[in-house]
Amino acid sequence: MPQNTPSLRDLEHASAFVDRHIGPNDAEIAQMLRVLGHDSLDALTDAIVPGSIKSGNPLALPESLTEVQALEKIRAIAGRNKVLRSFIGQGYYGTHTPNVILRNILENPAWYTAYTPYQAEISQGRMEALINFQQMVADLTGMEIANASLLDEATAAAEAMTLAKRSAKSKSNTFLASGDTHPQTLELLRTRAEPLGIDVALANSEEEWNAALAKGDFFGVLAQYPASSGWLADWEKDAEAIHAHNALFVVATDLLALTLLKSPGEMGADIVIGNSQRFGVPFGFGGPHAAFMACRDAYKRSMPGRLIGVSIDTEGNPAYRLTLQTREQHIRREKATSNICTAQVLLAVMASMYAVYHGPEGLKRIAGRVARLTAILKAGLQQLGYDQFHHASAFDTLSLKTGEKTDALMARAVSLGANLRKAWDEYICISLDETTTRADVELLWRIFGGDDATLPSIDALDASAPSLIPAELERTSAFLTHPVFNTHHSEHELLRYLRTLADKDLAMDRTMIPLGSCTMKLNATAEMIPVTWPEFSNIHPFAPAGQTQGYKELIGGLEAMLVEATGYDAVSLQPNSGAQGEYAGLLAIRAWHASRGESHRNICLIPESAHGTNPASAQMCGMKVVVTKCDANGNVDVADIRVQAEKHSANLAAIMMTYPSTHGVFEEDVVEICEIVHQHGGQVYTDGANMNALVGVAKPGKWGSDVSHLNLHKTFCIPHGGGGPGVGPCAVKSHLAPFLPGALGKDGVRTEGTGNGAMVSAATFGSASILPISWMYIALMGAAGLRKATQVALLNANYIARRLAPHYKTLYTGRNGLVAHECILDVRPLEKATGIGAEDVAKRLIDFGFHAPTLSFPVAGTLMVEPTESESQHELDRFIDAMIQIRSEIQAIEDGKLDREDNPLKHAPHTAAQVSASEWAHGYPRELAAFPLPSLKLGKYWPPVARVDNVYGDKNIMCACIPVDAYKDDVEG
C-alpha cells in the first residue's frame, strides 16, 4: 500500500454514524476543549465526574455498525416475527393508517421531534391537533370535557378509579368492576388499588352485578361498553342506581363503536375512558397508542394528564395553551393527581387526524361496514351449525361457545393464518375491524366450517342478516360537527392542514431545543425506519409466542444492552413513561420489603430538587414523602439525609434521587448516601432521566443504587413526539428482579428477564413498537460511540456555560467549577435590576427562532440549558449569540436606553402581523423586534401568536375546538 494512502479499514469508516450523531467534529471538539482549558475529552471527563463512581472498564458492547449494517441486522430480527390476520380484539384492532398521516405525521420529524407544549407560542400547531383530539373524544363519548391523552386504556381505567375516589361522596373503599372488562384493565385496577388500600370487587354475572348495585358498597363502578366479550347493554338504569349510592360511574369504551352507539354520556356516565388505537394507529405489539379520558365538567380540576385549552394572546386573538398548569407535575409534587407527565401526544395527533380526515360520515361508514361484516359473519356461522353465542347484540365482536373443540379450532385458525382469542376456557372471541375483508370472513367460516364445508354467500347474507345493534342503542346524537372534522377530507386538504399546523411549531427539524432534563438529542432517521415495518407494527400484543420471536430477540437484546449500560442485573421494558418506570421501581422496592416481613417501611426521602413525578409516584405507591434539603451549591444535603434516615430508620423504604442532580451537577457524596440509606434498611432509587451524562462513564448499579428508571425517550433517542410516547424501563439489582412487572395471566406473552410483580402497563412490553429506535441507537453507536456521546454532552454544556459566563451566572457548578450535561442560568439578579425575568428571556428567544430552555425548573426564575451531544458547535454558537444579544438588551434597559416596560423582551415574541402592522406603538424599532441578529434575515421563524395570557386561560377554561365565530370579527373587521 502506498504511503499516506488510508487503509481500506479507514475508508470503510465503521464509525460513520457516530460522527453524524455527535454534533461537533473532532476539530470543533478540540477548539471547544481549548475554551475550557482541557486537552482531551477524557481529561474533561476526569475533571467533572467523581472518581468514586467512574467505571473502570469500557462498555462490553459491540463496536458501532454503519446504518446499512444495523438496518440489515434489525431487518433479520423483524423477519422472525410472523404477521397473521388478527381477530383477537381485546382492546386492540386492525386499522388502516391513512398514508397521508403515516408519512406526514408518524414519519415526519416536524411532528415527532417536537416537545411537550410548555412554550405555548411555538406549539400552536400541535395544540390545535390535540384540542381536536379532545373535541373528538368529548363528542363521541358524549361528555363535557376530555384530556389530551393518557398512557393506555388499562392505566386510564386505573386513573379513573382514583379520580372517582377523589371525587365521589361515597365513603366506601370499594371499586366495583364488571367481570366482562378487558383482562389487562382489571389487572391494572388491582395494581393501582392495592397500595392505596382500595378493594377491587368483580361482578362476574348479571346476578352478581345486580346484587352489588343494590347493596351500594362502592365509590365507583366500571363497565365496559361494548363489553370485552362484545355484548352491548344500555347502562342508563345502572348509572342511576350508582348515583343513588353517591358513587361515580366509569365506562370503558370504544370510539369506533360510538359512531353507531348511544354515547356513555347519554347513559349517565361520569368518567369515560378507552383507547384511540383503532383510529389509525397500528397494533405495535401493544403500544404506543393514545388512551383517553373524558368526564363531567365538575371533575376537570382533579382530572389526570394534560388538558389543552383556549386562551388569548396579548393582541386578544385566540391562542392555545396547556390549561390548569398548576396540575402539572412540577408544581403539585406529592399533591399531584397522578404522575402522568409524558403521555401519548404523537398518537393522539394521529388519531385526531384520522377523525379529521374521515369526518363523521367516513367514520360511520367504517364502523357500519365492521358492524355489517360482524352480522354477516354471525349469520354464516349459524348456517355452519354454530349457534351458541354468548350474547345476541354485538358491534364487532362475537363470542362463541366452542367447548372441547376450542383448542383445536384455535390451532386450526393459526394454521390457516389467523389469530383468534380464547376466553373462559371454552369460548372463542372473534373481533372484526376496519381491515377485515370479505376474504377474511370466508377464512373465518372456513376455520369453523372445516375444509369441506360449503361456505355461505356474503351477498345473500347481507340481504338477510339482521343488525346486531339493538334499536334502543342506536346513536341519534350528532358528533364531530365542528368544521375541522368536515373540511379536510381530500388528501390535498389534509396534507395542507398538516403542513399549516407543523409550520406553526418549532421542533428539532428547525432548531436545537435546549431543554434541561429533557435531552432533546438527534432522533436519527435510520433509527426511526424500522418502527413502521409491518413485522413490528402489525403484531397484536396477544399474538402467540411462536409468532413474536423477532420481538423476543429485540427485547432480550435491548434488555442486555441496558443492563450493561447501567450496571444493574435486570430490566423491565414494560413501563411506558419515565414516571411509570418510577412507579414500577417503587413497587418493586415495596414488594421486596414485604417479602422480608417489613411491609411497614413506607417512608420515601426525596430531595427538594427532585422532579415532581418522584413524589407523585411515591404517593401512588402508598409511601409517605419526606422532603430533604439541598445545600447552597445545589447539592443534596447529606447531613439532612443522614438526620432523616436516622429519624425514620424503622420505617425507611427508600430514597429517590436524580443523578447527576436536576441542578446539573455530579454530587461527590452519592456513594456515601447509598451507604447511609442501606444502613437504615432503605433502598436507593436513582432517577435515570439524566443518564445521558453517565452512559459509558459510570453505572448507577455499580455505585450502590438498587433501582433506576431510564427515559429511552431522552437518553436512547426515542423522539418526544410533542409530549409522548415514552419508554421508561425499570432496571434493578438482582434482589429486586423477581418484583419487576409481570405479564398478563395465562394468555400473556412472556420473555425471560422480567419478574412476577404487578403489571404497570396494559401490555407486557409497554410501547414495544418504538423499542427498535433505542436498539438501533445502541447498535449504531457501539461502546466507544456511546461513551463519546456522553463526553460531548458534558463538553457542549460546559462550553455554553463558559462562553455565557461573562453574561449570565451559572447557578450551580460541581468540582473544578464545571457542570454536568446541563447548566442552570440564573437570571434572577437581572430581574431585580431591570424587571426582566426568565419568562421574558424564554419568550424573546422565540424571536431568534429558538425553543426556550427549561423554565423555572428545578429553581424558580432560572433557565436550565441542556444542549446534548447532537448539537454542532455552529448551533451552540447560534444559541450563545442569541443569549448574548438578549443580555445586551437587558443591559440597555439597565442603562436606560430601552424602557423598562416597553422593550423587546417584555413584548416578545413578535408576530409578523404585529411587525408589519400600519401602526407601531413601541419605542424600539420594528427591525430590533423581528431581526435582532442580521443572520435572522436569511431565515426567520414567525410565531403564529403573541404572548399567551395564562391567567385568562385558567380563569376562562375552554378546552374544545374554537367556534368559527371567534374568528369572524377578525375577518369582518
Ligand X SMILES: Cc1ncc(COP(=O)(O)O)c(C=O)c1O
What residues make contact with ligand X under the rule CB under 6 A? 341-342, 517-518, 577-579, 611, 613, 658, 662, 687, 689, 711, 726, 728
* H-helix segments, 291-344: 329-332
Nearest distance in Å: CB 588, ligand X: 17
Nearer to ligand X, 516 or 753 (CB): 516
The three cell numbers of residue 767 are 410501547
- The burial of 788, by beta-carbon neighbours within 10 Å (0-12 exposed, 13-18 middle, 19 or more buried), is given as buried
Q: In what order do the strands lie in the sheet with 624-628?
A: 570-572, 730-732, 707-710, 683-688, 652-658, 603-607, 624-628
For 899, phi then psi, to 5°, come to -70, 150
Q: Measured from the CB atom, is 547 or 577 closer to ligand X?
A: 577
Q: Which of 504, 132, 149, 319 is nearest to 950 (CA)?
A: 319
For ligand X, the closer CB: 398 or 763:
763
Half-sphere exposure of 868 (CA within 13 A, CB side): 28
Question: Residue 873 CB, nearest distance to ligand X (Å)?
Answer: 26
Q: Distance between CA atoms of 615 and 606, rounded to whole angstroms?
A: 7
Which one, 355 or 823, has the nearer CB to ligand X? 823
Count of C-beta atoms within a 10 Å radius of residue 163: 24
Q: Least distance to ligand X from the beta carbon of 479, Å? A: 32
d(CA 561, CA 550): 16
- Among 379, 400, 332, 440, CA closest to 94: 440
Contact 717, 773 (CB under 8 A): yes
Residue (168 or 773) nearer to ligand X, CB: 773
Q: Left if phi > 0, otherwise alpha if psi is -120 to 50, otherwise beta: which for 793?
A: alpha
Q: Which residue has the cell 348479571?
A: 206
Q: Which of 420, 459, 467, 515 is nearest to 123 (CA)?
A: 515
Distance of alpha carbon 745 from alpha carbon 843, whole angstroms: 51
| Nearer of residues 185 and 711 to ligand X, judged by Cβ | 711
> What DSSP state is assigned to residue 805?
T
CB of 571 to ligand X, least distance (A): 16
Contacts with 852 (C-beta within 8 Å, 6 or more apart), sequence order:
119, 515, 841, 842, 843, 845, 846, 863
Alpha helices in 384-508 (DSSP H): 406-415, 438-449, 458-464, 491-504
d(CA 963, CA 970): 13
Closest CB to ligand X among residues 330, 488: 330
Residue 739, all three cell numbers:
418484583
Q: Would you say how long the chain is, in residues?
A: 973
In this structure, what is the dihedral angle of CA atoms 24, 28, 32, 34, given to the nearest 10 degrees? 150
Closest distance of CB 637 from ligand X, Å: 19
- What's the closest the beta carbon of residue 262 comes to ligand X, in angstroms? 36
Closest CA to 103 of 507, 494, 500: 494
Region label for 963, one of left (φ > 0), alpha (ψ between -120 and 50) or beta (otherwise): beta
The CB-of-857 to ligand X minimum distance in angstroms stands at 8
Q: Which is nearer to ligand X, 515 or 641 (CB)?
A: 515
Closest separation in Å from C-beta 37 to ligand X: 30
Least Cα distance to 681 among 593, 794, 741 occurs for: 593
Closest approach of Cβ 82 to ligand X, in Å? 32
Q: Which residue lies nearest ligand X, judged by its C-beta? A: 578
- With residue 156 as reference, give the H or E element that holds it: helix 153-167
In angstroms, the CA 126 to CA 720 distance is 13
We find the least distance from the C-beta atom of residue 756 to ligand X, in angstroms, to be 24
Closer to ligand X by Cβ: residue 170 or 658: 658
Instruction: Tell me the one-letter amino acid at 932.
Output: P
Nearer to ligand X, 115 or 175 (CB): 115
Cα 371 from Cα 384, distance rounded (Å): 20
For residue 290, give the nearest of 335, 338, 358, 347 by alpha carbon: 347
Closest approach, Cβ 211 to ligand X, in A, equals 40
How do strand 652-658 and strand 683-688 relate by DSSP bridges?
parallel
Min separation Cβ 445 and ligand X, Å: 46
Q: Report the residue number, 288 or 849, with the smaller CB distance to ligand X.
A: 288
Q: Given its phi and psi angles, is residue 304 left (phi above 0), alpha (psi -120 to 50 degrees) or beta? A: beta
As a whole number of angstroms, the distance between CA 787 and CA 120 comes to: 35
Q: Residue type at 254?
A: D
Q: Please, which residue, 253 or 711, has the CB nearer to ligand X?
A: 711
Which residue, 630 or 689, has its beta carbon nearer to ligand X? Answer: 689
Nearest to ligand X of 226, 766 (CB atom): 766
Nearer to ligand X, 115 or 848 (CB): 115
Identify which of residues 686 and 798 has a Cβ nearer to ligand X in the complex: 686
Please say which residue, 526 or 689, places its beta carbon nearer to ligand X: 689
Q: State the burial class of residue 234 (Cβ atoms within 10 Å of its Cβ: 0-12, 13-18, 19+).
A: middle
Our CB check for ligand X shows the closer of 24 and 719 to be 719
Q: Is the separation of the CB atoms in 259 and 364 below 8 Å?
A: yes
What's the closest the beta carbon of residue 21 comes to ligand X, in angstroms? Answer: 22
